[in-house]
Structure 1
Amino acid sequence: MRIDLTGKRALVTGSSQGIGLAIATGLAEAGASVVLTGRDAGKLEQAAAGIDGEVTTVAGDVVTDEGTAALLEAVPDVDVLVNNLGVFGARPALEITDDEWRRYFETNVLTAVRLTRAYLPGMRDRGWGRVQYIASDSAVVVPAEMVHYGMTKTALLAVSRGFAKEAAGSGVTVNSVVAGPTHTAGVEDFVHSLVGDELPWDEAQREFMRLHRPQSLIQRLIEPAEIANMCVYLASPLASATTGGALRVDGGYVDAILP
Protein backbone atom coordinates (compact mmCIF):
# COMPACT_ATOMS: atom_id res chain seq x y z
CA MET A 1 0.00 0.00 0.00
CA ARG A 2 1.16 3.51 -0.82
CA ILE A 3 0.19 6.12 1.76
CA ASP A 4 0.54 9.70 0.60
CA LEU A 5 -0.40 12.52 2.98
CA THR A 6 1.21 15.28 0.94
CA GLY A 7 -0.66 18.54 1.44
CA LYS A 8 -2.20 17.46 4.75
CA ARG A 9 -1.42 19.10 8.09
CA ALA A 10 -1.34 16.82 11.13
CA LEU A 11 -1.31 17.76 14.80
CA VAL A 12 -0.16 15.23 17.39
CA THR A 13 -0.51 16.15 21.05
CA GLY A 14 2.10 15.05 23.57
CA SER A 15 4.55 14.46 20.74
CA SER A 16 7.97 15.38 22.11
CA GLN A 17 8.71 11.73 22.91
CA GLY A 18 7.37 8.19 23.03
CA ILE A 19 4.29 7.13 21.09
CA GLY A 20 3.40 10.68 20.10
CA LEU A 21 6.80 11.31 18.54
CA ALA A 22 6.65 7.98 16.70
CA ILE A 23 3.23 8.87 15.27
CA ALA A 24 4.41 12.33 14.21
CA THR A 25 7.48 10.79 12.57
CA GLY A 26 5.36 8.29 10.67
CA LEU A 27 2.97 10.97 9.45
CA ALA A 28 5.88 13.13 8.29
CA GLU A 29 7.41 10.19 6.43
CA ALA A 30 4.09 9.83 4.61
CA GLY A 31 4.34 13.45 3.48
CA ALA A 32 2.21 15.30 6.01
CA SER A 33 3.18 18.64 7.50
CA VAL A 34 3.38 17.85 11.19
CA VAL A 35 2.81 19.98 14.30
CA LEU A 36 4.41 18.78 17.52
CA THR A 37 3.01 19.92 20.87
CA GLY A 38 4.22 19.65 24.46
CA ARG A 39 5.11 21.72 27.48
CA ASP A 40 8.90 21.68 27.04
CA ALA A 41 10.10 23.82 24.12
CA GLY A 42 13.58 22.32 24.27
CA LYS A 43 12.33 18.76 24.01
CA LEU A 44 10.05 19.74 21.13
CA GLU A 45 12.90 21.29 19.19
CA GLN A 46 15.06 18.24 19.80
CA ALA A 47 12.24 15.98 18.63
CA ALA A 48 11.62 18.09 15.53
CA ALA A 49 15.29 17.94 14.59
CA GLY A 50 15.02 14.16 14.32
CA ILE A 51 12.12 14.21 11.85
CA ASP A 52 12.76 14.40 8.13
CA GLY A 53 10.00 16.59 6.76
CA GLU A 54 8.04 19.79 7.38
CA VAL A 55 7.71 20.13 11.14
CA THR A 56 6.61 22.97 13.41
CA THR A 57 6.40 23.04 17.17
CA VAL A 58 4.01 24.73 19.59
CA ALA A 59 5.05 24.70 23.24
CA GLY A 60 2.37 25.00 25.89
CA ASP A 61 0.11 23.13 28.27
CA VAL A 62 -3.09 22.24 26.41
CA VAL A 63 -4.64 21.03 29.66
CA THR A 64 -5.16 24.73 30.42
CA ASP A 65 -7.51 27.09 28.63
CA GLU A 66 -4.58 29.44 27.97
CA GLY A 67 -2.44 26.71 26.43
CA THR A 68 -5.28 25.53 24.21
CA ALA A 69 -6.03 29.07 23.06
CA ALA A 70 -2.37 29.60 22.15
CA LEU A 71 -2.30 26.37 20.15
CA LEU A 72 -5.49 27.22 18.27
CA GLU A 73 -4.14 30.67 17.45
CA ALA A 74 -0.90 29.19 16.12
CA VAL A 75 -2.63 26.29 14.31
CA PRO A 76 -6.21 27.25 13.46
CA ASP A 77 -6.91 24.30 11.16
CA VAL A 78 -5.63 20.74 10.71
CA ASP A 79 -6.55 17.82 8.51
CA VAL A 80 -5.41 15.14 10.95
CA LEU A 81 -5.74 15.37 14.73
CA VAL A 82 -4.13 12.70 16.89
CA ASN A 83 -5.07 13.05 20.55
CA ASN A 84 -2.14 11.29 22.18
CA LEU A 85 -1.49 13.37 25.29
CA GLY A 86 -1.88 11.37 28.48
CA VAL A 87 -0.54 10.70 31.96
CA PHE A 88 -0.35 7.39 33.78
CA GLY A 89 0.97 5.98 37.02
CA ALA A 90 0.36 3.30 39.61
CA ARG A 91 -1.76 4.03 42.68
CA PRO A 92 -3.90 1.77 44.89
CA ALA A 93 -7.53 2.41 43.98
CA LEU A 94 -8.60 3.49 47.45
CA GLU A 95 -5.74 5.98 47.68
CA ILE A 96 -6.59 7.95 44.54
CA THR A 97 -7.67 11.42 45.62
CA ASP A 98 -10.35 13.60 44.03
CA ASP A 99 -7.62 15.87 42.67
CA GLU A 100 -5.91 12.93 40.97
CA TRP A 101 -9.18 11.76 39.44
CA ARG A 102 -9.74 15.27 38.08
CA ARG A 103 -6.16 15.60 36.77
CA TYR A 104 -6.34 12.32 34.91
CA PHE A 105 -9.72 13.11 33.39
CA GLU A 106 -8.79 16.65 32.39
CA THR A 107 -5.46 15.58 30.88
CA ASN A 108 -6.40 12.33 29.17
CA VAL A 109 -9.99 13.05 28.15
CA LEU A 110 -11.01 16.68 28.29
CA THR A 111 -8.03 17.96 26.27
CA ALA A 112 -8.99 15.55 23.48
CA VAL A 113 -12.63 16.64 23.63
CA ARG A 114 -11.67 20.30 23.54
CA LEU A 115 -9.40 19.95 20.51
CA THR A 116 -11.91 17.79 18.65
CA ARG A 117 -14.56 20.41 19.28
CA ALA A 118 -12.21 23.04 17.86
CA TYR A 119 -10.96 21.22 14.77
CA LEU A 120 -13.79 18.90 13.69
CA PRO A 121 -16.09 21.62 12.30
CA GLY A 122 -13.41 22.80 9.87
CA MET A 123 -12.73 19.25 8.72
CA ARG A 124 -16.43 18.71 8.19
CA ASP A 125 -16.77 21.93 6.21
CA ARG A 126 -13.87 20.90 3.96
CA GLY A 127 -15.29 17.40 3.51
CA TRP A 128 -12.20 15.55 4.72
CA GLY A 129 -10.46 14.94 8.00
CA ARG A 130 -9.14 12.39 10.45
CA VAL A 131 -9.51 12.41 14.23
CA GLN A 132 -7.83 9.78 16.37
CA TYR A 133 -7.66 9.03 20.08
CA ILE A 134 -4.84 6.96 21.52
CA ALA A 135 -6.62 4.67 23.94
CA SER A 136 -5.21 1.62 25.70
CA ASP A 137 -5.83 -1.99 26.57
CA SER A 138 -6.48 -0.53 30.03
CA ALA A 139 -9.78 0.76 28.63
CA VAL A 140 -11.01 -2.82 28.43
CA VAL A 141 -8.84 -4.68 30.93
CA VAL A 142 -8.68 -2.07 33.69
CA PRO A 143 -5.49 -2.67 35.72
CA ALA A 144 -5.93 -2.83 39.48
CA GLU A 145 -2.87 -0.66 40.00
CA MET A 146 -4.20 2.29 37.96
CA VAL A 147 -7.96 2.35 37.86
CA HIS A 148 -8.01 6.10 37.26
CA TYR A 149 -5.95 5.71 34.07
CA GLY A 150 -8.15 2.87 32.83
CA MET A 151 -11.24 4.98 33.41
CA THR A 152 -9.92 7.75 31.15
CA LYS A 153 -9.10 5.33 28.35
CA THR A 154 -12.56 3.77 28.56
CA ALA A 155 -13.98 7.27 28.31
CA LEU A 156 -11.99 7.90 25.14
CA LEU A 157 -13.66 4.94 23.43
CA ALA A 158 -17.05 6.54 24.12
CA VAL A 159 -15.83 9.98 23.08
CA SER A 160 -14.47 8.59 19.82
CA ARG A 161 -17.68 6.76 18.95
CA GLY A 162 -19.78 9.80 19.81
CA PHE A 163 -17.78 12.22 17.67
CA ALA A 164 -17.79 9.68 14.81
CA LYS A 165 -21.57 9.96 14.84
CA GLU A 166 -21.28 13.75 14.84
CA ALA A 167 -19.09 13.49 11.73
CA ALA A 168 -21.36 11.01 9.94
CA GLY A 169 -21.58 11.48 6.18
CA SER A 170 -19.08 14.33 6.13
CA GLY A 171 -15.94 12.61 4.82
CA VAL A 172 -14.36 12.87 8.27
CA THR A 173 -13.47 9.68 10.13
CA VAL A 174 -13.05 9.35 13.88
CA ASN A 175 -11.41 6.35 15.51
CA SER A 176 -9.62 5.26 18.63
CA VAL A 177 -6.45 3.16 18.65
CA VAL A 178 -6.24 0.65 21.48
CA ALA A 179 -2.53 0.49 22.23
CA GLY A 180 -1.16 -2.39 24.24
CA PRO A 181 1.76 -2.34 26.70
CA THR A 182 4.29 -0.19 24.86
CA HIS A 183 8.01 0.38 25.30
CA THR A 184 8.67 4.03 26.16
CA ALA A 185 10.98 5.76 28.61
CA GLY A 186 8.06 6.41 30.93
CA VAL A 187 7.00 2.79 30.80
CA GLU A 188 10.54 1.69 31.64
CA ASP A 189 10.28 3.69 34.87
CA PHE A 190 6.82 2.22 35.50
CA VAL A 191 8.05 -1.34 34.92
CA HIS A 192 10.98 -0.87 37.30
CA SER A 193 8.64 0.59 39.92
CA LEU A 194 6.68 -2.67 39.87
CA VAL A 195 9.43 -5.30 39.53
CA GLY A 196 12.38 -3.52 41.14
CA ASP A 197 15.20 -1.22 40.05
CA GLU A 198 17.90 -3.83 40.47
CA LEU A 199 16.91 -5.92 37.43
CA PRO A 200 18.50 -5.27 34.00
CA TRP A 201 15.97 -3.93 31.50
CA ASP A 202 15.51 -7.10 29.43
CA GLU A 203 14.93 -9.15 32.56
CA ALA A 204 12.68 -6.49 34.08
CA GLN A 205 10.54 -6.42 30.92
CA ARG A 206 10.12 -10.19 30.91
CA GLU A 207 9.22 -10.19 34.61
CA PHE A 208 6.73 -7.37 34.10
CA MET A 209 5.01 -9.19 31.24
CA ARG A 210 4.97 -12.45 33.20
CA LEU A 211 3.53 -10.95 36.39
CA HIS A 212 1.42 -8.03 35.21
CA ARG A 213 0.57 -8.59 31.52
CA PRO A 214 0.49 -12.39 31.06
CA GLN A 215 -2.36 -12.14 28.52
CA SER A 216 -0.04 -10.67 25.87
CA LEU A 217 0.23 -13.01 22.89
CA ILE A 218 3.47 -11.47 21.64
CA GLN A 219 4.92 -11.66 25.18
CA ARG A 220 6.88 -8.43 24.82
CA LEU A 221 6.30 -4.72 24.94
CA ILE A 222 5.13 -3.10 21.72
CA GLU A 223 7.45 -0.60 20.04
CA PRO A 224 6.04 2.93 19.47
CA ALA A 225 6.55 2.64 15.71
CA GLU A 226 4.13 -0.29 15.68
CA ILE A 227 1.43 1.96 17.14
CA ALA A 228 2.36 4.66 14.63
CA ASN A 229 1.85 2.31 11.70
CA MET A 230 -1.84 1.97 12.54
CA CYS A 231 -2.22 5.72 13.07
CA VAL A 232 -0.63 6.56 9.73
CA TYR A 233 -2.96 4.14 7.96
CA LEU A 234 -6.03 5.59 9.71
CA ALA A 235 -4.89 9.08 8.71
CA SER A 236 -4.73 8.11 5.04
CA PRO A 237 -7.35 8.05 2.28
CA LEU A 238 -7.03 4.26 2.33
CA ALA A 239 -8.97 4.18 5.63
CA SER A 240 -11.96 6.12 4.30
CA ALA A 241 -14.47 3.41 5.32
CA THR A 242 -13.08 2.94 8.82
CA THR A 243 -14.79 5.18 11.36
CA GLY A 244 -16.35 4.87 14.79
CA GLY A 245 -13.99 2.01 15.54
CA ALA A 246 -11.63 0.94 18.30
CA LEU A 247 -8.71 -0.62 16.48
CA ARG A 248 -6.33 -2.74 18.51
CA VAL A 249 -2.55 -2.65 18.37
CA ASP A 250 -2.25 -4.56 21.60
CA GLY A 251 -0.20 -7.64 20.82
CA GLY A 252 -3.29 -9.76 21.43
CA TYR A 253 -3.48 -8.57 25.03
CA VAL A 254 -7.26 -8.08 25.11
CA ASP A 255 -8.79 -11.57 25.17
CA ALA A 256 -11.60 -10.97 22.69
CA ILE A 257 -12.31 -11.62 19.05
CA LEU A 258 -14.07 -8.28 18.55
CA PRO A 259 -12.67 -4.94 19.81
Structure 2
Amino acid sequence: MRKKCLLNSSLFLFILSISLNIFSCSSSKLKVQYFQDIPDSGQLKQIARAEYTPPVIKVDDILTVVVQTIDPQNTAVINLGNVPVASTGISLSSTTAAATTQQSSGYLVDKDGAIVLPILGKITVAGHTTSEATAIINEVALKFYKNPTVIVRFANFKVSVTGEVLKPGVYVMPNERVSILDAIALAGDLTIFGKRENVLLIRENEDGTKTPYRVNLKKSNIMSAPYFYLRQNDVIYVEPRKAKSDATDASQAKYITLAASILSVLIILATRK
Protein backbone atom coordinates (compact mmCIF):
# COMPACT_ATOMS: atom_id res chain seq x y z
CA MET A 1 0.00 0.00 0.00
CA ARG A 2 2.82 2.35 0.92
CA LYS A 3 4.57 1.48 -2.32
CA LYS A 4 1.42 2.32 -4.30
CA CYS A 5 1.03 5.69 -2.56
CA LEU A 6 4.66 6.51 -3.34
CA LEU A 7 4.08 5.58 -6.94
CA ASN A 8 1.01 7.82 -7.17
CA SER A 9 2.83 10.72 -5.54
CA SER A 10 5.76 10.38 -7.89
CA LEU A 11 3.45 10.17 -10.89
CA PHE A 12 1.63 13.30 -9.74
CA LEU A 13 4.92 15.15 -9.27
CA PHE A 14 6.06 14.08 -12.74
CA ILE A 15 2.84 15.27 -14.41
CA LEU A 16 3.00 18.56 -12.50
CA SER A 17 6.59 19.15 -13.58
CA ILE A 18 5.80 18.45 -17.23
CA SER A 19 2.78 20.77 -17.07
CA LEU A 20 4.91 23.57 -15.65
CA ASN A 21 7.42 23.11 -18.44
CA ILE A 22 4.71 23.22 -21.12
CA PHE A 23 3.11 26.29 -19.58
CA SER A 24 6.48 28.01 -19.32
CA CYS A 25 7.25 27.34 -23.01
CA SER A 26 3.81 28.53 -24.11
CA SER A 27 4.17 31.71 -22.05
CA SER A 28 7.61 32.42 -23.54
CA LYS A 29 6.36 31.91 -27.08
CA LEU A 30 3.50 34.34 -26.44
CA LYS A 31 5.96 37.01 -25.27
CA VAL A 32 8.08 36.84 -28.40
CA GLN A 33 5.34 36.45 -31.02
CA TYR A 34 4.94 39.28 -33.54
CA PHE A 35 1.61 40.57 -34.92
CA GLN A 36 -0.57 38.78 -32.38
CA ASP A 37 -3.71 40.51 -33.66
CA ILE A 38 -3.51 38.57 -36.96
CA PRO A 39 -5.56 35.34 -36.61
CA ASP A 40 -4.04 31.96 -37.42
CA SER A 41 -6.80 31.01 -39.84
CA GLY A 42 -9.89 32.28 -41.60
CA GLN A 43 -10.24 35.20 -43.96
CA LEU A 44 -7.49 37.72 -43.20
CA LYS A 45 -8.05 41.44 -43.60
CA GLN A 46 -5.72 43.52 -45.71
CA ILE A 47 -3.35 45.85 -43.91
CA ALA A 48 -3.29 49.45 -45.07
CA ARG A 49 -0.08 50.49 -46.83
CA ALA A 50 2.28 52.83 -45.03
CA GLU A 51 2.97 56.09 -46.82
CA TYR A 52 6.51 56.20 -48.16
CA THR A 53 8.29 59.55 -48.43
CA PRO A 54 11.63 59.49 -50.28
CA PRO A 55 14.51 60.76 -48.11
CA VAL A 56 15.97 64.19 -48.80
CA ILE A 57 19.67 64.85 -49.33
CA LYS A 58 21.32 66.76 -46.47
CA VAL A 59 24.68 68.36 -45.75
CA ASP A 60 27.39 65.74 -45.00
CA ASP A 61 25.54 63.04 -46.91
CA ILE A 62 27.62 60.91 -49.28
CA LEU A 63 26.23 60.32 -52.77
CA THR A 64 27.34 57.80 -55.35
CA VAL A 65 27.09 59.47 -58.76
CA VAL A 66 27.50 57.44 -61.96
CA VAL A 67 27.28 58.97 -65.44
CA GLN A 68 27.05 56.52 -68.35
CA THR A 69 27.52 57.20 -72.07
CA ILE A 70 28.18 55.14 -75.19
CA ASP A 71 31.93 55.50 -74.59
CA PRO A 72 32.72 54.66 -70.93
CA GLN A 73 36.06 56.45 -71.12
CA ASN A 74 34.33 59.79 -71.56
CA THR A 75 32.85 59.67 -68.07
CA ALA A 76 35.49 57.57 -66.33
CA VAL A 77 36.89 60.59 -64.48
CA ILE A 78 33.46 61.25 -62.91
CA ASN A 79 32.74 57.65 -62.00
CA LEU A 80 36.21 57.08 -60.56
CA GLY A 81 35.75 60.19 -58.47
CA ASN A 82 33.47 58.32 -56.07
CA VAL A 83 36.15 58.41 -53.38
CA PRO A 84 35.84 55.76 -50.62
CA VAL A 85 35.01 57.30 -47.24
CA ALA A 86 35.55 55.09 -44.19
CA SER A 87 32.97 55.00 -41.42
CA THR A 88 33.35 52.92 -38.27
CA GLY A 89 30.44 51.13 -36.61
CA ILE A 90 30.36 49.07 -33.44
CA SER A 91 28.99 45.53 -33.60
CA LEU A 92 28.19 43.98 -30.21
CA SER A 93 27.11 40.56 -29.01
CA SER A 94 26.52 38.97 -25.63
CA THR A 95 30.17 37.96 -25.36
CA THR A 96 32.20 40.22 -27.66
CA ALA A 97 32.43 43.78 -28.91
CA ALA A 98 34.03 44.48 -32.26
CA ALA A 99 34.55 47.58 -34.38
CA THR A 100 33.72 47.21 -38.05
CA THR A 101 34.89 49.62 -40.75
CA GLN A 102 32.52 50.22 -43.64
CA GLN A 103 33.46 51.91 -46.90
CA SER A 104 31.07 54.42 -48.45
CA SER A 105 32.13 55.47 -51.94
CA GLY A 106 30.80 58.75 -53.24
CA TYR A 107 30.82 62.53 -53.26
CA LEU A 108 30.43 64.42 -50.00
CA VAL A 109 27.67 67.06 -49.82
CA ASP A 110 29.48 70.16 -48.56
CA LYS A 111 28.25 72.85 -46.16
CA ASP A 112 26.72 74.73 -49.10
CA GLY A 113 24.60 71.67 -49.95
CA ALA A 114 26.52 70.94 -53.14
CA ILE A 115 28.77 68.26 -54.61
CA VAL A 116 31.71 68.97 -56.89
CA LEU A 117 31.90 66.63 -59.90
CA PRO A 118 34.83 66.51 -62.30
CA ILE A 119 34.02 68.28 -65.61
CA LEU A 120 30.43 69.00 -64.51
CA GLY A 121 31.46 71.34 -61.70
CA LYS A 122 29.66 72.30 -58.49
CA ILE A 123 26.00 71.22 -58.35
CA THR A 124 23.57 71.96 -55.49
CA VAL A 125 21.64 68.85 -54.43
CA ALA A 126 20.71 69.38 -50.75
CA GLY A 127 16.99 69.55 -50.14
CA HIS A 128 16.26 67.25 -53.08
CA THR A 129 15.55 63.54 -53.32
CA THR A 130 17.95 61.31 -55.26
CA SER A 131 15.46 61.23 -58.14
CA GLU A 132 15.40 65.03 -58.28
CA ALA A 133 19.20 65.17 -57.97
CA THR A 134 19.46 62.73 -60.87
CA ALA A 135 17.41 65.07 -63.07
CA ILE A 136 19.48 68.11 -62.00
CA ILE A 137 22.82 66.40 -62.71
CA ASN A 138 21.52 64.94 -65.96
CA GLU A 139 20.58 68.44 -67.17
CA VAL A 140 24.14 69.61 -66.52
CA ALA A 141 25.63 66.47 -68.11
CA LEU A 142 23.71 67.14 -71.34
CA LYS A 143 25.95 70.17 -71.89
CA PHE A 144 29.01 67.91 -72.07
CA TYR A 145 27.75 64.50 -73.24
CA LYS A 146 25.29 63.11 -75.75
CA ASN A 147 22.40 61.15 -74.24
CA PRO A 148 23.98 60.55 -70.82
CA THR A 149 22.42 58.31 -68.19
CA VAL A 150 22.83 59.48 -64.59
CA ILE A 151 22.45 57.33 -61.47
CA VAL A 152 22.44 58.89 -57.98
CA ARG A 153 22.23 56.87 -54.77
CA PHE A 154 22.90 57.36 -51.09
CA ALA A 155 26.19 55.79 -49.99
CA ASN A 156 25.66 56.46 -46.27
CA PHE A 157 22.01 55.67 -45.58
CA LYS A 158 22.69 54.33 -42.10
CA VAL A 159 20.47 53.16 -39.24
CA SER A 160 21.52 52.34 -35.68
CA VAL A 161 19.99 49.33 -33.93
CA THR A 162 20.84 48.88 -30.25
CA GLY A 163 19.55 47.28 -27.07
CA GLU A 164 18.20 43.75 -26.85
CA VAL A 165 19.01 42.50 -30.37
CA LEU A 166 21.45 39.78 -31.37
CA LYS A 167 23.79 42.04 -33.38
CA PRO A 168 23.62 45.70 -32.25
CA GLY A 169 25.41 48.14 -34.51
CA VAL A 170 25.26 50.79 -37.21
CA TYR A 171 23.99 49.43 -40.53
CA VAL A 172 24.46 51.06 -43.93
CA MET A 173 21.38 50.19 -46.00
CA PRO A 174 21.67 49.09 -49.64
CA ASN A 175 18.62 51.12 -50.68
CA GLU A 176 16.40 53.97 -49.54
CA ARG A 177 13.14 52.07 -49.02
CA VAL A 178 13.92 50.36 -45.72
CA SER A 179 11.39 49.41 -43.06
CA ILE A 180 11.84 48.98 -39.33
CA LEU A 181 11.40 45.22 -39.83
CA ASP A 182 14.28 45.21 -42.33
CA ALA A 183 16.57 46.88 -39.81
CA ILE A 184 15.59 44.50 -37.01
CA ALA A 185 16.20 41.53 -39.32
CA LEU A 186 19.69 42.86 -40.18
CA ALA A 187 20.41 43.07 -36.45
CA GLY A 188 19.52 39.40 -36.04
CA ASP A 189 16.07 39.97 -34.49
CA LEU A 190 15.22 40.77 -30.86
CA THR A 191 16.55 38.59 -28.07
CA ILE A 192 14.18 36.75 -25.76
CA PHE A 193 14.54 39.66 -23.30
CA GLY A 194 13.51 42.45 -25.71
CA LYS A 195 10.21 44.29 -25.18
CA ARG A 196 8.40 43.73 -28.45
CA GLU A 197 5.48 45.87 -27.40
CA ASN A 198 7.59 48.93 -26.60
CA VAL A 199 10.42 49.44 -29.11
CA LEU A 200 11.75 53.00 -29.23
CA LEU A 201 12.45 54.72 -32.57
CA ILE A 202 14.31 58.06 -32.42
CA ARG A 203 14.21 60.20 -35.56
CA GLU A 204 16.21 63.31 -36.37
CA ASN A 205 14.22 66.25 -37.73
CA GLU A 206 15.33 68.84 -40.27
CA ASP A 207 16.17 71.37 -37.52
CA GLY A 208 18.30 68.86 -35.61
CA THR A 209 15.71 68.05 -32.93
CA LYS A 210 14.76 64.46 -32.15
CA THR A 211 11.29 62.89 -32.24
CA PRO A 212 10.69 59.60 -30.36
CA TYR A 213 8.12 57.01 -31.44
CA ARG A 214 6.94 53.95 -29.53
CA VAL A 215 6.52 50.85 -31.70
CA ASN A 216 4.46 47.79 -30.75
CA LEU A 217 5.69 44.82 -32.78
CA LYS A 218 2.83 42.71 -31.45
CA LYS A 219 0.35 44.79 -33.46
CA SER A 220 0.04 44.66 -37.24
CA ASN A 221 -0.85 48.36 -37.50
CA ILE A 222 2.86 49.28 -37.40
CA MET A 223 2.94 48.34 -41.10
CA SER A 224 0.61 51.30 -41.74
CA ALA A 225 2.37 53.74 -39.41
CA PRO A 226 4.25 56.83 -40.69
CA TYR A 227 7.43 55.57 -39.01
CA PHE A 228 7.32 52.12 -40.65
CA TYR A 229 9.79 53.26 -43.32
CA LEU A 230 13.06 54.51 -41.89
CA ARG A 231 15.08 57.63 -42.65
CA GLN A 232 18.78 58.40 -42.48
CA ASN A 233 20.28 58.26 -38.98
CA ASP A 234 17.20 56.69 -37.37
CA VAL A 235 17.99 54.96 -34.06
CA ILE A 236 16.10 51.85 -32.94
CA TYR A 237 16.42 50.96 -29.26
CA VAL A 238 14.97 47.71 -27.90
CA GLU A 239 14.34 47.99 -24.18
CA PRO A 240 15.09 44.90 -22.04
CA ARG A 241 12.09 43.13 -20.55
CA LYS A 242 13.89 42.31 -17.32
CA ALA A 243 17.30 42.55 -15.71
CA LYS A 244 19.86 39.94 -16.69
CA SER A 245 19.94 38.70 -13.13
CA ASP A 246 16.20 38.02 -13.24
CA ALA A 247 16.67 36.19 -16.52
CA THR A 248 19.39 34.07 -14.93
CA ASP A 249 17.06 33.23 -12.04
CA ALA A 250 14.35 32.21 -14.52
CA SER A 251 16.83 30.02 -16.38
CA GLN A 252 17.90 28.35 -13.15
CA ALA A 253 14.26 27.74 -12.20
CA LYS A 254 13.70 26.04 -15.55
CA TYR A 255 16.64 23.71 -14.98
CA ILE A 256 15.39 22.92 -11.48
CA THR A 257 11.98 22.03 -12.89
CA LEU A 258 13.59 19.82 -15.51
CA ALA A 259 15.72 18.13 -12.86
CA ALA A 260 12.60 17.48 -10.77
CA SER A 261 10.96 15.84 -13.79
CA ILE A 262 13.94 13.55 -14.32
CA LEU A 263 14.06 12.70 -10.61
CA SER A 264 10.35 11.83 -10.67
CA VAL A 265 10.92 9.40 -13.54
CA LEU A 266 13.81 7.75 -11.66
CA ILE A 267 11.65 7.37 -8.54
CA ILE A 268 8.84 5.77 -10.55
CA LEU A 269 11.23 3.32 -12.19
CA ALA A 270 12.78 2.46 -8.80
CA THR A 271 9.42 1.78 -7.09
CA ARG A 272 8.31 -0.55 -9.87
CA LYS A 273 11.14 -3.01 -9.13
| TM-score category, normalised to shorter length | under 0.3
Q: Which has the higher helix share?
A: 1
Greater relative CO, 1 or 2 (CA 8 Å, sep 6+): 2
Query: Which entry has the higher C-alpha Rg, 1 or 2?
Result: 2
TM-score, with length taken from structure 2: 0.21
